[in-house]
Amino acid sequence: MRRRISTWDGFSRLCVAVVVSGLLLTVTGMAPAPTTAEPMPVRGSAYMGIGVLAHDGTAGRTGAVSPEERAGQTEGVDVSSYQRAVAWPTLWSAGTRWAYTKATEGTSYRNPYYDDQYEGAYDVGMVRGAYHFATPDGSSGAAQADYFVNHGGGWSGDGRTLPGALDIEWNPYGDACYGKSTSGMVTWIGDFLNRYKARTGRDAVIYTATSWWNACTGSYRGFGATNPLWVARYASSVGALPAGWSAQTMWQYTSTGQTVGDHDRFNGSADALRQFAAG
């Protein structure tokens, strides 16, 4: 009589077949194709420009800037926990005169290297400031502004402290626009900016990329009259600006610069930079 094959027997044979097939593929050099999916970043690990290369790529030459191109602009850098100990004297010797350090993200993360990085830039003579990586899907704009100010994002009119910057760009942890409608995103940004100004007396700098801004805010123009723009574009020219601004105050032009990677240019002289810092 023919024996009936139980469900368990069938499952066992399937498992054996899969294992044997895998062994054969390995022996013959025909290993299964590896997955290409990038792992989800750990919360708190985001930094300025985390989505720029993936979504905007590069256009033209990036990296070192000639003396002619530097004329009328002042070199800067931005850093986060990724850089850890920063060679500030090296950057200063190379002509870097200002720096922003990531202070916070959301309402629970503070850069553990913030104090050393922030004071290290100051100690070599740089004008320095702090930035906040926005996560609009986690808490309100006002709550994140409060957390930022309370954990390093304040401002003083000493001529050496830049106004805080809001890093608002692609969501590295999920939906590019953080699940918000364009009107919802504009409201969130406005809440952050209003609370920051109420706490510090300064209008925060907005760091963003043109393509993200126009897509996720619906090309909103309302902040251009009050908030300085820091635009991200890794190219030999600044290109089209986000809706609402006719000129940038700062430009992150590469992620492959010397010493720390991210390099920026202030749209003015070193004297103008200090005047901007003083408010």
The residue annotated as part of the active site, out of 56, 105, 146, 169, is: 169
Write out the DSSP string of 112-140.
TTHHHHHHHHHHTT-EEEEEEE--TTTS-
User: Is 115 considered catalytic here?
Assistant: no
Pick the catalytic residue from 56, 78, 105, 262: 78
pTM summary value: 0.84
Instruction: Say yes or no to pLDDT of 163 above 80.
Output: yes
The helix (H) or strand (E) run that includes residue 69 is helix 67-70
The HSE-up count of residue 165 (CA atoms within 13 Å, CB side) is 30
pLDDT at 238 over 50: yes
Q: What is the pLDDT of residue 153?
A: 98
Give how far Cα 215 sits from Cα of 135, 179, 208, 209, 212, Å: 17, 13, 12, 10, 5
Of 75, 167, 203, 262, the active-site residue reads 167
Sign of CA dihedral 255, 256, 261, 263: negative
Mean pLDDT over residues 251-268, rounded? 96
Q: Which two tokens stand for residue 13?
A: 């044979």
Least confident of 61-70, 110-119, 172-181, 225-234: 61-70
DSSP category for residue 205? E
146 catalytic? Reply is no
- The question of whether 169 is a catalytic residue gets the answer yes
Q: Does residue 67 have a pLDDT over 80?
A: no
Report which DSSP code applies to 156. -
- Mean pLDDT over the full length of the chain: 87
